[in-house]
Chains A and B, each alone.
Chain A
Amino acid sequence: MMRTARLSALLLALALLAGCAPGSREDTVHFTAMDTVIQLSVYGCDHGEETLSEARQLIQELDGLLSTTDEDSQIHALNQGETVALAQPVQALLERALALCADTGGAFDITIYPVVRAWGFTTDSHQVPTQEELSALLARVDYRQVEPQGGTLTLPQGVELDLGGVAKGYASQQVAQLLREEGVDCALIDLGGSIQAIGSSPDGDPWSVGIRDPRSDSPEDYAAVVRVTDQAVVTSGMYERYFEQDGVRYGHIIDPDTGYPVDNGLASVTVVSPDATLADALSTALFVMGRDGAAQYWRGREDFEFVLMGEDGSIAISEGLEGSFSLAGEQGSVSLEVIRR
């Protein structure tokens, strides 16, 4: 009898500790911002609706500051050659982004925008630029030309910024911080496929995040699943934006060295890290580096893991994911390689 009572007390304590009990309240909001669809879900929060509306406002504010196309944004003003007193989030993100550009040796470069535009990826009127045009534009591409001076910034003639490669990661990080401050310990932030998990899923297990199958047209099809707790999962995929001309496929991820779309056999790169801004930047940078470059870069760091999906259907993961990664399809038909330190 005593034993049963003790056992029940223990179980009750465990249930309370779990925080997000199954069947507990769920609040979800979806809306469009940052050129994508956003879905925010919080679990077991008695003021979930208000918290989500604050989060939505935060994302819209960041979008308003960071958008390259919104004529009222700080980035747009900078790209017009204006001197701008940077708003705090813009300054913080810009500093972080510049550090990431340097750290990746320029594989991630926030000044690639004029080249991306020349290919038509910003306007959907795609074209292959001439070599002369690319050479002229590449002369303006170098993140080291961006030098904020005590909170203000003026870009040199011809240099243009695009923080789109880190903006979603940064926004999800800011939302995660807001939610945690509001006492939320169970939430999933999905900014158009850039996912940030808070805590573990409502049933107490890690969150299961599918990684889209690059060979399928449907975003519902995933080739693998990675299980995460308190981590961001961000993917760059060639399938997001590309065009074909004369039988050649041109993707939207541009190598800052050549000005040409990356063509190294990779179809998508997924980065898993507690730091969503890092994951966002690295999903692009590792794509540019290619399989071997990505593996080498990863060996020098401890703060992320990755999944590489090849155009041929092959998959490579870094060894830190070994226990939390599984293939979604028939195991036999895919070659899975584990990259070790």
Chain B
Amino acid sequence: MRSTKFWILLIAAALVVCLAAAAAVMLGNTGSCVARVYQNGQLLRAVDLSQVEEGYTFTVSGPAGENLVQVEPGRIRVAAADCPDQVCVHQGWISTGIAPIVCLPNQLVIQIQSDSHNQQVDGVTG
């Protein structure tokens, strides 16, 4: 028979291993999440949304005027645009890689690439 102390240590060790594993999984899920801003296929800017601490904005100019892009921790949107249809503005915030924000008149695409593997679909039809 082993001593009680041995079993307590063993259980404590198992607990530590479990907690470490749980922490690793959780930290893994908050991995980087990069929004890439393209114009006519050219990469203009890449923003790691997981590293954003304070929100900010920047503008992108195109054939139909300007798009005001707003960045906040974990998410990005087009806050205002000169384009006539305002589709990109109506699309609102995006935070996953499922659907890009698109402004056709300004040939602007904002696409999020996330390596956290929490994306459940490969594409969206609609």
Q: Please, how many angstroms separate the alpha-carbon atoms of A124 and B30 in the complex? A: 41
B122 touches A211 (CB 8 A): no
Which among B3-11, B13-21, B53-61, B95-103 touches the partner chain?
B95-103
Which residue of the partner chain, among B40, B95, B107, B123, contacts A210 with CB atoms under 8 Å?
B123
B104 touches A32 (CB 8 A): yes
B125 touches A30 (CB 8 A): no
Which among A2-10, A89-97, A189-197, A295-303 touches the partner chain?
A189-197
B91 touches A212 (CB 8 A): no
A210 touches B121 (CB 8 A): yes
B91 touches A209 (CB 8 A): no
Most chain B beta-carbon contacts within 10 A, residue among A35, A36, A195, A222: A222
Q: Please, how many angstroms separate the alpha-carbon atoms of A220 and B104 in the complex? A: 18
B121 partner residues in chain A, CB cutoff 8 A: 208-210, 222, 225
A237 partner residues in chain B, CB cutoff 8 A: 126
Produce 1/0 per residue, B80-119, CB < 8 A to A: 0000110000111011101110101001010100000000
Instruction: Quote the shortest CB–CB distance from A171 to chain B (angstroms).
Output: 15
A124 touches B120 (CB 8 A): no
Most chain B beta-carbon contacts within 10 A, residue among A31, A207, A239: A31
B84 touches A220 (CB 8 A): no
B123 touches A209 (CB 8 A): yes
B40 partner residues in chain A, CB cutoff 8 A: 31-32
A217 touches B90 (CB 8 A): yes
Number of B interface residues at 8 Å Cβ cutoff, please give it: 26
A194 partner residues in chain B, CB cutoff 8 A: 125
Which residue of the partner chain, among B91, B98, B107, B123, contacts A32 with CB atoms under 8 Å?
B107
A62 partner residues in chain B, CB cutoff 8 A: none
A30-B100 contact in complex given A217-B90, A217-B92, A220-B94, C-beta closer than 8 Å: yes
Q: Please, how many angstroms separate the alpha-carbon atoms of A208 and B40 in the complex? A: 28
B100 touches A211 (CB 8 A): no
- Please classify how large the interface on chain A is, using the bins under 10, 10 to 19, 20 to 34, 35 or more: 35 or more
A37-B109 contact in complex given A190-B123, A220-B99, C-beta closer than 8 Å: yes
Which residue of the partner chain, among A35, A37, A235, contacts B125 with CB atoms under 8 Å?
A235
A323 on interface, CB distance cutoff 8 Å = no
A75 on interface, CB distance cutoff 8 Å = no
B24 on interface, CB distance cutoff 8 Å = no
Instruction: Quote the shortest CB–CB distance from B44 to chain A (angstroms).
Output: 13
B104 touches A39 (CB 8 A): no
B124 on interface, CB distance cutoff 8 Å = yes
Instruction: Quote the shortest CB–CB distance from A114 to chain B (angstroms).
Output: 22
Instruction: Quote the shortest CB–CB distance from A201 to chain B (angstroms).
Output: 6
Produce 1/0 per residue, A197-210, CB < 8 A to B: 10001000001111
A211 touches B124 (CB 8 A): yes
A188 touches B96 (CB 8 A): no
A222 touches B41 (CB 8 A): no
Q: Please, how many angstroms separate the alpha-carbon atoms of A234 and B98 in the complex? A: 16
A51 partner residues in chain B, CB cutoff 8 A: none
Name the residue of chain B whose CB is nearest to the CB of A208. Answer: B121
A268 partner residues in chain B, CB cutoff 8 A: 126
Q: Please, how many angstroms separate the alpha-carbon atoms of A26 and B14 in the complex? A: 39
Q: Please, how many angstroms separate the alpha-carbon atoms of A32 and B104 in the complex? A: 7
A68 on interface, CB distance cutoff 8 Å = no
> Apart from A193-B125, A210-B98, A220-B124, what are 9 other A-B pairs with CB-CB below 8 Å?
A30-B41, A30-B100, A212-B124, A219-B98, A219-B99, A220-B99, A222-B124, A234-B125, A270-B125
Question: B residues near A, CB below 8 A?
Answer: 38, 40-41, 84-85, 90-92, 94-96, 98-100, 102, 104, 107, 109, 111, 120-126
Question: A residues near B, CB below 8 A?
Answer: 29-32, 35-37, 39, 124, 188, 190, 193-195, 197, 201, 207-212, 214, 217-220, 222, 225, 233-235, 237, 239-240, 268, 270
What are 10 A-B contacts defined by CB distance under 8 Å?
A30-B100, A31-B41, A35-B104, A188-B123, A195-B125, A208-B121, A208-B122, A218-B94, A218-B99, A222-B98
